[in-house]
Amino acid sequence: MTETSLAPDQSAPPLRGIFWMLVTGLNFVAVTALVKYMGPRIPPAESAFLRYLLGLVFLLPMIGALRAAEWNRRLVAAFGLRGAVHSLGVIMWFFAMTQIPLAEVTAMGYLAPIYVTIGAALFLGERLALRRIAAVAVALIGVVVILRPGFREVSPGHLAMLVTGLSFGISYLMAKSLVGRTNPTVVVAMLSVFVTLGLAPMALANWVAPTLHELVILFAVACFATAGHYTMSMAFAAAPLTVTQPVTFLQLIWSTLLGVVFFAEGVDLWVVLGGGMILGAVSFITWREAVLKRRSITPAAPAMKS
């Protein structure tokens, strides 16, 4: 998949993008539900390792792109560093799934783009205008609403999700740099390879023999995760992010319902409110980026940046 393939088709109706993002949400909710269903018997590092190992089968169509890539030591080292950072996030996510409700994992998962925005300003020199700063502040307040420190216990699972968002945010920033140096398909494939390698030592250090049933569940997790990334790319190709981004809020609703129906988890309206604040901030930042890009392409008149 190339970057140009993600450009929205202006002739396609926005409903197509909304449909694909709905399917994306269902895929990712299925991932969280299956991991939650499997339970804590297998250590998080091993669960994550097996999920990525079984998912390597989906790299077979990418072999041609991998063979055609121009490899060098610095590029491989960059892939390795990104794989290590992403591995940490994956382990923390699997751990959080065994500690806190589905809705809280989903709500705090919306934080990654906020970390990306902050990281782009700190390390890539991107300018944070006042409106973006306000959106970031709203998202951080949303985290406080979810955690409510002082009013309830902040568990290790919550802290793990904070690390997950930070790790995935750093991983995304590194991906932006890597895409400029090689084929995006190679970037995607190498993430799977190096995350598998990065997770292997931690998985083997505390190995628990998985049952066939658990292996089937983890392979299903890999299938739904791969399908989710594919349908997300279809959504991005069919409609602008400003159309598809708000649809991801439904993932929080579905996660909450799944938690209530299948895992006897209560409905926490504060989590829904905080998740909505985070996603609202992300959607606003996405919308502002789209507006600024349109202005840079077709400047009508000199205007101050907001």
Give tens-digit pLDDT for 124-135: 777 778 888 898
CA distance 145 to 149: 9
The segments of the chain whose pLDDT lies below 70 read: 1-13, 241, 292-306
pTM attached to this predicted model: 0.83
| Residues 90 and 222 sit within 8 Å (Cβ to Cβ) | no
Q: What is the largest CA-CA distance in the chain?
A: 65
Domain assignment present for residue 306? The answer is: no
CA distance 109 to 32: 11
The structural domain count of the chain equals 1
Joined together, the tokens standing for residue 296 give 């840079």
pLDDT of residue 247: 84
CA distance 259 to 268: 11
pLDDT per position as a tens digit, 31-55:
999 999 998 999 999 999 999 999 9
Domain assignment present for residue 305? The answer is: no
pLDDT of residue 11: 47
pLDDT of residue 150: 78
Which among 249, 261, 281 has a CA at the least distance from the CA of 138?
A: 281
pLDDT of residue 152: 82
Own/partner pairs for 151-157, CB < 8 Å, 24+ apart? 155/99, 155/100, 156/95, 156/99, 157/95, 157/96, 157/98, 157/99, 157/100, 157/104, 157/105
User: Residue 290: which H helix or E strand, with range?
Assistant: helix 269-297
Domain assignment present for residue 129? The answer is: yes
Domain assignment present for residue 49? The answer is: yes
pLDDT of residue 299: 40
Domain that holds residue 235: 3-296
For 78, 202, 247, 298, the CA distances from 175, given in Å and listed in that order, are 10, 24, 24, 28
Domain assignment present for residue 97? The answer is: yes
Joined together, the tokens standing for residue 55 give 């998912």
Domain assignment present for residue 11? The answer is: yes
Domain assignment present for residue 289? The answer is: yes
pLDDT of residue 6: 47
Domain assignment present for residue 72? The answer is: yes
How far is Cα of residue 108 from the mean position of the Cα atoms in its chain? Answer: 11
Q: How many angstroms separate the first and last alpha carbons of the chain?
A: 33
* Residue partners of 92: CB distance under 8 A and separation at least 6: 44, 160, 161, 163, 164, 167
